[in-house]
Amino acid sequence: MLDSPSAMWHGWVQRSREDAAKAVKDIKADWDLHDGEGVEAFGGGATEQLREMRGEMDRSATMSTY
């Protein structure tokens, strides 16, 4: 029996949220591993910018799980 369009949509949205949350975790893990590397290439303050971006991603991931 086929799922209703509503059930299929809900499943797709849930998988998309899970995929997005996993991608954010993977990116954060990579940034944590390499935190501060290559700062000279971006000039001073690059590490702080990365931390701010990471915070934005945390907020986005948190919002997408609701």
pLDDT in tens, 2-46: 577 788 888 888 888 888 888 888 887 777 666 655 555 555 555
Contacts of 54 (CB under 8 A, 6+ apart): 28, 31
Task: List the Cα angle 33/34/38 in 5-degree steps.
Answer: 175
Token digits for 6? 């509503």
pLDDT of residue 36: 53
Q: Confidence band (pLDDT; 50, 70, 90) for 54?
A: confident
**What is the DSSP-derived secondary structure letter of residue 66?**
-
Give the number of other Cβ atoms within 10 Å of residue 63's Cβ. 9
